[in-house]
Structure 1
Amino acid sequence: MQTFDPVKIALDDVPANRRRGGDLRVLLSPKTCGATSGFMGVGTLEPGEFVSEHYHPYSEEFFHVVRGRLLLRVDGKELRLEAGESFMVPIGVRHRIENPGTEQAFVTFFLGPLAPSPELGHVDCEPLPGEGTLPEVGDIR
């Protein structure tokens, strides 16, 4: 039987990443807790902020809006999400997330399965709006 050491990750344990837009934090991943099937995080977007268009060649991405509202541009179509609503982006589908509202939006996200290596998991389709480095997910241990 495999042994397991529980790992708890708090929002403040992970620094904000603004490279792709908004405030993105990868909370549970191969790097933070040894995950092997995907990774999970949260995003905060102030009014007018966005996460730049991208796609995932190996992963589906699941969103759930906790607070505020989002405009999700998926493969050229627009979908508005309110607090309490969720959406799944299929593998390989381009998407961009925007906050068109007047209040802060807070979203959770999960991607799975993992790409063969972190650098293959995310393809950017437009210039990145933020400063700094890209989020780190880590390799499967």
Structure 2
Amino acid sequence: MTAPPVVRKISRAEVEPNRRRGGDVRVLLSPRTVGSTSGFGGSLTLEPGEYVCEHLHPYSEEFVYVVDGQLRIRIDEELIDLTAHDSVMVPTGVRHRMVNPGSEPARLIFHLAPLAPRPELGHVDTEFLPDRSDEPPPRVGGAR
């Protein structure tokens, strides 16, 4: 059962980074942290040359906003270059992969909606980091 929504400030520093798929992913607002019922969101930092492995979300659209830096995102087979203040939507069920082609860190905000029926159904990996493929999935959203 999901906890009822609460009004609560969530600081990035409160949430452990998830590096399983590449980059520094932090789910800040989620069913686990604030009891959200329609989606979840957070931040992603990619160092120069760093990437997030290809994956898809079978139930959700993903909205990506670049705060600082550069991002190259491959959505299906299309490459899209984004810089600060650019955004893009990844449609439901479409493979995508993100890389920082720049020389400075890329900082992004993301949001996914709607929620999958269960957390483990929300993300399908189609690529794995060489040294992380056997790690268990993280508990999304930090401590509660």
Same fold? TM cut 0.5: yes
User: Over residues 31-56 of structure 1, what are the superposed CA-to-partner deviations in whole Å (9 max), with x where a residue is unaligned?
Assistant: 00100000001000000000000000
The structure-2 alpha-carbon separation of the partners of 1:117 and 1:5, relative to structure 1 and needing over 3 Å to count, comes to: closer
Query: Paired residue for 1:136?
Result: 139
* TM-score, structure 2 as length reference: 0.89
Within a 5 Å distance, the mapping from 1:1-141 to structure 2 comes to 5-129=6-130, 131=132, 133-137=136-140
The structure-2 alpha-carbon separation of the partners of 1:130 and 1:34, relative to structure 1 and needing over 3 Å to count, comes to: farther
Distance in 2 of aligned mates of 1:65 and 1:129: 26
Percent identity over paired residues: 59
**Partners of 2:5 and 2:36 within 8 A in 1:** no
**Any unmatched runs of 5+ in structure 2?**
none
Distance in 1 of aligned mates of 2:21 and 2:101: 17
The structure-2 alpha-carbon separation of the partners of 1:22 and 1:129, relative to structure 1 and needing over 3 Å to count, comes to: farther
* TM-score, structure 1 as length reference: 0.91
Q: CA RMSD in A?
A: 1.6
Distance in 1 of aligned mates of 2:78 and 2:52: 16
**Any unmatched runs of 5+ in structure 1?**
none
Distance in 1 of aligned mates of 2:46 and 2:65: 13
Distance in 2 of aligned mates of 1:31 and 1:4: 10
Query: How many aligned positions are there?
Result: 136
Distance in 1 of aligned mates of 2:136 and 2:68: 26
The structure-2 alpha-carbon separation of the partners of 1:31 and 1:5, relative to structure 1 and needing over 3 Å to count, comes to: closer
Distance in 2 of aligned mates of 1:38 and 1:114: 5
The structure-2 alpha-carbon separation of the partners of 1:103 and 1:133, relative to structure 1 and needing over 3 Å to count, comes to: farther
